[in-house]
Amino acid sequence: MDPKDILEKYKNGEIDLPEALEHFPKRGIEEMGFATLDIDRQHRTGLPEVIYASGKTVEQVQMIAERMYQKGIDVLATRVTPEMVDAVKAVIPGAEYNALARTISFAKATEVVAKGYIAIIAAGTSDLPVAEEAAVTARFLGNKVETVYDVGVAGIHRLFNKLELIRNARVLIVVAGMEGALTSVVGGLVDKPVIGVPTSIGYGANFQGLSALLAMLNSCASGVSVVNIDNGFGAACQASLINKL
């Protein structure tokens, strides 16, 4: 239950003080034994608690998602398996699964609260799982998202075909594997913040994304920042905070 609803019910005499206090967890946390939910994170940081499913059991993901749902908290889980999806859907009717992004989410409302939009640009089709994770996350956080996919430097003319859409974005996320050059290219074309996401896509000397990461970190284009390899979620969180300034 939303804190405002609780206070309103107490004010109207619908619940007494002890019952009202029961709805306010100590220090904004919810103890579960194997997990401690930070249910006040949205109000404190502008970003909600999100479930990183990798490394967790199916039962743990299900229990965390169910507790968040019961508390009226919107649910997003990243890096989920099909088994986790079935388990979450069993306790959260209406939860939405994006197989490409490997996410499952449930939001009471999909209100767009940011003024501009975030453009997510992917170099190749192989980079789409990371790009889609960023897109799902950014929309979950209340942003309008525009996607521009498969416009890598091997056919750079494809990027120019979408240049107006790209330049009108308020912040851009560029997802690229191989040598990661697309981030620098975009950074040299726009006057907006660019967040580079290196992916682990590439042949042996790509070193599971290390070559793309180093290339983005060494970009000569001003205004480019970089998140960790395959971290579409982290890029979307940063882009959302910028878009809502």
Please, what sign has the CA dihedral across residues 60, 61, 67, 70? negative
Q: What is the pTM of this model?
A: 0.83
Q: Which residues contact 64 (CB under 8 A, 6 or more apart)?
A: 32, 35, 37, 51, 56
The class (CATH top level) of 117-243 is: alpha beta
Domain boundaries, the chain: 26-106, 117-243
Task: Output the pLDDT for position 225.
Answer: 95
- Contact between 140 and 105 (Cβ < 8 Å): yes
Chain centroid offset of residue 184 CA: 23
Give the β-pairing of 29-31 and 36-38. Answer: antiparallel
Task: Output the pLDDT for position 92.
Answer: 93
Task: Tell me the pLDDT of the chain (245 aa) as tens digits.
Answer: 566 787 888 888 888 877 777 766 556 777 677 887 777 777 788 788 889 999 999 999 999 999 889 888 889 999 999 999 999 999 998 899 999 999 999 988 666 776 899 999 999 999 999 999 999 999 999 999 999 999 988 898 999 999 999 999 999 999 999 988 999 999 999 999 999 999 999 999 889 999 999 999 999 898 899 999 999 999 999 999 999 88
Task: Output the pLDDT for position 33.
Answer: 78
